[in-house]
């Protein structure tokens, strides 16, 4: 089996990871966490979302977070924006990149954006083109690309049609999302076959949630098909307010463990990412689903019993 030599990890924990949390995390904790993530070897971090606080109260401090983080040279700091107004707010904070988003199914798009797909497309065109004019790269999310919590299995041709439109309006990369975390490698292969008919692998990233425990197996299938960019969330945080039952994203440290054991280079430190997950677990007040974090805590407990203070 031939694997990529290198894989790019795009950390989405500070945005996708926190957006659905009931407990509000302070701006200081968020910025401290992002600063720690910046020191782990990551080159891409999605730091917040400029969506109206009414819809995502957990990220109401978007401007403060974007302005207060300590930016590290070589790290791209991205913010999610829904429209022109969100873009304007993001530009005020000098983010490096923006991400736009829409769903591949009508019902989820209406729940998530309050617009039909046809109504959403021109809004994203305007937003993307204004960003490109301002020399800000545009990334695009395609949600519910495999399954929809309201409509079931997503039509792969719809995913391709929307994806090609987003590339046409200026997106340099598409993040293809298993928003509800119920896809299997079979569905991943089917959808990617449709997309790869006209879209090169270098323009595709995969965004898996782990609701059914299939995120890493889906990642393996995507690797087999040539994908080299993956979104993940430190600690396995995540979820979607409009995808009932959806669990968190692939845990970054679990993804790193698998990739590194396969001999694939990422440039990201597993050890630092586990510590970053522990930092957020301590502040969020609940156990996080990351397997690597659980293993780390188990090892610490054993050492503690033996009197080893490491």
Q: Is 240 a catalytic residue?
A: yes
DSSP annotation string for 41-72: T-SEEEEEE-S-TTT-GGGTTHHHHHHHS-PP
Q: What is the Cα–Cα distance from 94 to 215, expressed in whole angstroms?
A: 33
- Please give the structure tokens belonging to residue 190: 């089917």
Which pairing describes strands 147-148 and 152-153: parallel, antiparallel, or unpaired?
antiparallel
The answer to whether the CB of 239 falls within 8 A of the CB of 246 is yes
- Sequence-separated (6 or more) residues with CB below 8 Å from residue 53: 59, 60
- Token representation of residue 226: 């040539």
Look at residues 148, 139, 145 and name the one whose alpha carbon lies nearest to residue 157: 145
Specify burial of residue 308 (Cβ count, 10 A radius: 0-12, 13-18, 19+): exposed
Provide the 10 A C-beta neighbour count for residue 12: 29
Nearest-angstrom CA–CA distance, 216 and 224: 12
Residue count of the chain, please give it.
310
| Catalytic annotation, pick one of 87, 162, 240, 273 | 240
Give one DSSP letter per residue of 238-297, joined into a string: ---TTSTT--PBPBHHHHHHHHHHTT-B-S--HHHHHHHHHHHHHHHTS----HHHHHHH
**Dihedral angle over CA of 53, 59, 65, 69, nearest 10:** -160
CA distance 168 to 4: 27
- Which residues are the active-site residues? 240
């Amino acid at each position: 089996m031939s694997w990529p030599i290198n894989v790019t990890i795009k950390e989405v924990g500070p945005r996708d990871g926190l957006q659905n949390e009931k407990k509000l995390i302070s701006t200081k904790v968020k910025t401290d966490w992002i600063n720690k993530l910046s020191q782990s070897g990551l080159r891409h971090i999605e730091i917040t979302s400029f969506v109206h606080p009414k819809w995502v109260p957990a990220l109401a401090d978007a401007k403060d977070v974007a302005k207060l983080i300590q930016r590290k040279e070589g790290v791209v700091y991205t913010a999610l924006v829904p429209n022109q107004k969100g873009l304007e707010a993001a530009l005020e904070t000098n983010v490096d990149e923006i991400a736009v988003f829409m769903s591949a199914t009508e019902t989820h798009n209406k729940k998530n954006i309050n617009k039909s797909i046809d109504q959403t497309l021109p809004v994203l065109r305007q937003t993307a083109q204004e960003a490109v004019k301002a020399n800000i790269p545009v990334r695009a999310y395609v949600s519910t690309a495999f399954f929809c919590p309201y409509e079931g299995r997503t039509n792969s041709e719809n995913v391709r049609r929307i994806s090609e439109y987003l590339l046409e309006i200026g997106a340099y990369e598409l993040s293809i999302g298993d928003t509800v975390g119920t896809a299997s490698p079979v569905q991943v292969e089917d959808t990617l076959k449709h997309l790869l008919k006209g879209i090169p692998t270098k323009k595709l990233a995969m965004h898996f949630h782990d609701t059914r425990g299939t995120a890493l197996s889906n990642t393996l299938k995507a690797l087999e098909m040539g994908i080299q960019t993956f979104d993940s969330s430190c600690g396995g945080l995540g979820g979607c307010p409009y995808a009932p039952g959806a669990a968190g994203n692939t845990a970054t440290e679990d993804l790193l463990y698998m990739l590194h054991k396969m001999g694939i280079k990422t440039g990201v430190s597993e050890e630092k990412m586990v510590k970053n997950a522990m930092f957020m677990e301590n502040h969020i007040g609940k156990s996080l689903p990351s397997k690597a974090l659980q293993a780390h805590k188990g090892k610490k407990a054993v050492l503690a019993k033996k009197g080893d203070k490491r």
